[in-house]
């Protein structure tokens, strides 16, 4: 595996916007959490691929923190960018903002960190470029990434142990 030239966070930035329509809402007239999660994974995958310029697959979602409901008729805008890398893995931060289309009020409704692994056509892991943070926010997220990566590894080991314990049998 060869080292690739480092890239700025801004080079991976991806934005997705959509209206929240009746098929997107639950019985509380707010957007389905699962639909928000779909959008998060989609935009994060685009940011990861922009950074690596190869296929990237989701390895984990640290969390999706729903901070505020997204209502019917609002727009939802997701912004994602790569915050950190480690050999073949890519951490992506996603921010979800809802906008009331009448008042113009905007609210951060969710945040999430996801990890992707870069692979080639054979499914082999690929080296990824390092990240160069520029803004205060990018630097803040970059500096916190190693601690998040350690927590991810610990959680992954716990998940493996749980999977081994339960195996393929039914609960």
With a CB cutoff of 8 Å and minimum separation 6, the contacts of 124 are none
For the chain of 171 residues, list the mean pLDDT of each consecutive stretch of 10: 83 98 96 97 98 96 94 97 97 98 97 97 96 98 96 92 82 58
Strands 55-66 and 89-99: unpaired
The model's pTM:
0.92
**Is 58 inside any structural domain?**
yes
Domain containing residue 18: CATH number: 3.10.129.10
Domain count, the chain: 1
**Is 2 inside any structural domain?**
no
Q: Tell me the residue range of the domain where 93 lies.
A: 7-166
**Is 160 inside any structural domain?**
yes
**Is 134 inside any structural domain?**
yes
59 sits in which H/E element: strand 55-66
Residue 84: how many CB atoms within 10 A of its CB?
24
pLDDT of amino acid 171:
58
């Amino acid at each position: 595996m060869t080292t690739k030239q480092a890239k700025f966070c801004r080079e991976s930035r991806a934005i997705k916007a959509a209206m929240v329509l009746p098929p997107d809402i639950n019985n509380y007239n707010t957007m389905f959490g699962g639909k928000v999660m779909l959008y998060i994974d989609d935009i994060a995958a685009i940011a990861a691929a922009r950074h690596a310029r190869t296929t990237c697959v989701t390895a984990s979602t640290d969390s999706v923190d729903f901070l505020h409901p997204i209502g019917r008729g609002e727009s939802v805008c997701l912004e994602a960018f790569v915050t950190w890398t480690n050999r073949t893995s890519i951490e992506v931060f996603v921010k979800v903002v809802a906008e009331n289309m009448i008042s113009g009020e905007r609210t951060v409704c969710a945040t999430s960190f996801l990890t992707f692994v870069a692979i080639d056509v054979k499914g082999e892991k690929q080296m990824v470029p390092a990240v160069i943070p520029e803004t205060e926010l990018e630097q803040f997220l970059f500096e916190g990434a190693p601690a998040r990566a350690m927590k991810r590894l610990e959680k992954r080991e716990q998940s493996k142990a749980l999977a081994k314990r339960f195996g393929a049998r039914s609960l």
